[in-house]
Structure 1
Amino acid sequence: MDTMRERFTAVATALLDEDPRLAVVLAVISADRFTDAARAHPDRVIDVGIREQLLVGAAGGLALTGLRPIVHTFGSFLVERPFEQVKLDLVHQEVGAVLVTAGASYDISAGGRTHQSPGDVALLDTLPGWTVHVPGHPDEAEALVRHAAADGDHRVYVRLSEQSNRAPLPVPPGRFRTVRQGRSGVVVAVGPLLDATLEAVAGLDVTVLYASTVRPFDAAGLRAAAGAAERADVVLVEPYLTGTSAPFANDALMDLPHRVLALGTAREELRRYGTSREHARAHGLDAAGLRRRIGSFLAAARTGAATAGVR
């Protein structure tokens, strides 16, 4: 199976042939994968070199001329390093672009802290008007990139990962999909963490919702699932900074008694290289770690309910 990054470069190349309004803006990363596209469309495939601030600034300029820029590099170089340009050249100027990253969170763990960006979605949450897609499979990545490219002049972030679920699960953008139903709580699994989440909750009486789009947050979908359960206990399993979507979940359930457990990448820096699989385990985002924490969370609810019933 190809990776999300490989699928993206193939799809973006095809889109350049299909839509003359699209342009691809690069900062060296993946430029070798766009060689043929650059030859076919030299005015719409632009490599600015290792200048990430210019990368986003150029995209803003292209958008002002009426083009739809697709901007690509590693997450830490596309959101964190040029954040001021994202804020000013895109948001302040009220123009759209499609930002597509590779190397999500700790995928490029061997590259050290400079190549890790678990806080990217949380950082974008400080700005208005962003749609955020987190596909869990290359097929989903293709569908979401195509949707983003055709999404008018909106600002869209597509977060690609080296991690992938075994099979695609199509979900309409902006909606959560019910994978299984239960009565003891709701678990929201985001993108490439669906397989580990399903393994973790095997045998537990919980509803599992799958999200490949996290902004806008499907408040109605979460509320409906939580309202149908015996207890509005919600677990968020996200492949980026822990607690990123907790405010959105709390807002969705503000008039219901509820508890939220947010699971994601720890805020403390993990000062190790290793592999992405080892980082997932260290952050408790493998099946065993998720099982332990989700099980404890649900058990505490049962214990509390039993204690409340004692007179």
Structure 2
Amino acid sequence: MDTMRDRFAPVVSRLLDEDPRVAVVLAEIGVAGFEGAQHRHPDRVINVGIREQLLVGAGAGLALTGLRPVVHTFASFLVERPFEQVKLDLGHQDVGAVLVSASASFDWPSGGYTHMAPGDIALLDTLDGWTVHVPGHPDEAETLLRHAVAAGDDKVYVRLSVQSNAEAHAVDGARFRTVREGRAGVVVAVGPMLDTVLAATEGLDVTVLYGTTVRPFDSAALRRATESAGTDVVLVEPYLAGTSTAVANDALADLPHRVLGLGVGRRELRRYGQIEEHVAAHGLDAGSLRERIGGFLGATATRVSA
């Protein structure tokens, strides 16, 4: 199966052909994928070199002229390094862009901590008005990329990862999907965490919601799920643990409830290793998740066989 990032350049290249407003801004990363598009649209495929602050600033400048810029590089260089430009050039100037990242939390362990960004969405949460898509499959990535580019002049972040679920789900760029129903708690699985969450909760009497658009957070879906499953909620996110705890608490503010946020820990892992080793070290493998989810929900979560 191809990866989400494999889909990125072909999908956006087609959008460049289809829509004269679309422009692409790169900082060396991903340039090879746009060679054909650059020949066809030399004025709308721009490589600024290894200058990430300029990357975002150029995107904002294009947006001020009425274009719809798609800005791409690794997450750590797209959100963290040029955060001031994201905050001011886009937010303060009230213009939109589509930021599309690669490398996610730890997709390239050999790149070291400079190429890891588990805190990207938590950082964007300090700003107003961002839509955040976290696809869990290449097909979903393609759909959400198209949603993002077509979203008027909004500020949109699309977080691509090499981690993927085995199958795609229908996504609409807004709502959570109910994948499994139960009565002893709600588990929200974000993006590529779904398959692992389903394996971890096999035999547990819980509702599993699947989220690929996490900002705005689908508070209505969470509240509906708690009507039959109770108000114990576990969030399993492929980035910094607790990133969505506050918005989940806000969704249930008028109800007695508990929320457990699981995700990437704050402790830096100083050995590169492999992706699977990072997953296990952060307790995001199926066995660890089952223990942590089961411990939080208690004995009532065990599904009784007929």
TM-score range, shorter chain: over 0.9
Q: Assess, with a 3 A threshold, how the Cα gap between structure 1 residues 127 and 27 changes in structure 2: closer, same or farther.
A: same
> Structure 2 CA distance, aligned partners of 1:160 and 1:143?
12
**More displaced, 54-63 or 170-179?**
170-179
> Structure 2 CA distance, aligned partners of 1:178 and 1:186?
10
**More displaced, 276-285 or 69-78?**
276-285
Deviations 1:191-234 (A, max 9, x none): 000000000000000000000000000011101101222x3100
* Equivalent position amino acid for 1:148 in 2: A
> Structure 2 CA distance, aligned partners of 1:152 and 1:181?
35
- Determine if contact 2:122/2:240 at 8 Å carries over to the other structure: yes
Secondary structure of 1:60's match? helix
Q: In structure 2, what is the equivalent of residue 146 of structure 1? A: 146
Q: CA deviation at 1:291?
A: 0.7
Q: In structure 1, what is the equivalent of residue 27 of structure 2? A: 27
Q: CA deviation at 1:27?
A: 0.2
Q: In structure 1, what is the equivalent of residue 197 of structure 2? A: 197
Q: Assess, with a 3 A threshold, how the Cα gap between structure 1 residues 256 and 166 changes in structure 2: closer, same or farther.
A: same
> Structure 2 CA distance, aligned partners of 1:256 and 1:46?
50
Q: In structure 2, what is the equivalent of residue 251 of structure 1? A: 250
Q: In structure 2, what is the equivalent of residue 37 of structure 1? A: 37
What's the % identity of the aligned pairs? 70
- Determine if contact 2:184/2:300 at 8 Å carries over to the other structure: no
Q: CA deviation at 1:301?
A: 7.2
* Equivalent position amino acid for 1:141 in 2: A
Q: CA deviation at 1:268?
A: 1.3
Secondary structure of 1:234's match? strand
1:91-106 alignment runs, 5 A limit: 91-106=91-106
* Equivalent position amino acid for 2:157 in 1: Y
> Structure 2 CA distance, aligned partners of 1:300 and 1:9?
48
**More displaced, 116-125 or 167-176?**
167-176
> Structure 2 CA distance, aligned partners of 1:267 and 1:216?
24
* Equivalent position amino acid for 1:203 in 2: G
Q: CA deviation at 1:171?
A: 2.2
> Structure 2 CA distance, aligned partners of 1:122 and 1:85?
17
Report the TM-score, using the length of structure 2 for normalisation.
Answer: 0.97
Q: In structure 1, what is the equivalent of residue 304 of structure 2? A: none
Secondary structure of 1:244's match? coil
Q: CA deviation at 1:136?
A: 0.1
Q: In structure 2, what is the equivalent of residue 305 of structure 1? A: none
Q: CA deviation at 1:249?
A: 0.4
- Determine if contact 2:143/2:171 at 8 Å carries over to the other structure: no
**Which consecutive unaligned segments of at least 5 residues does structure 2 have?**
302-306
1:154-173 alignment runs, 5 A limit: 154-173=154-173
Q: CA deviation at 1:91?
A: 0.4
* Equivalent position amino acid for 1:205 in 2: D
Secondary structure of 2:298's match? helix
Runs of at least 4 residues off by over 2 Å: none
> Structure 2 CA distance, aligned partners of 1:265 and 1:289?
13
Q: Assess, with a 3 A threshold, how the Cα gap between structure 1 residues 301 and 82 changes in structure 2: closer, same or farther.
A: farther
Report the TM-score, using the length of structure 1 for normalisation.
Answer: 0.95
Aligned residues: 301
> Structure 2 CA distance, aligned partners of 1:11 and 1:289?
36
- Determine if contact 2:102/2:159 at 8 Å carries over to the other structure: yes
Q: In structure 2, what is the equivalent of residue 56 of structure 1? A: 56
Q: In structure 1, what is the equivalent of residue 237 of structure 2? A: 238
> Structure 2 CA distance, aligned partners of 1:265 and 1:301?
27
1:168-183 alignment runs, 5 A limit: 168-183=168-183
Q: In structure 2, what is the equivalent of residue 184 of structure 1? A: 184
* Equivalent position amino acid for 1:117 in 2: A
- Determine if contact 2:164/2:192 at 8 Å carries over to the other structure: yes
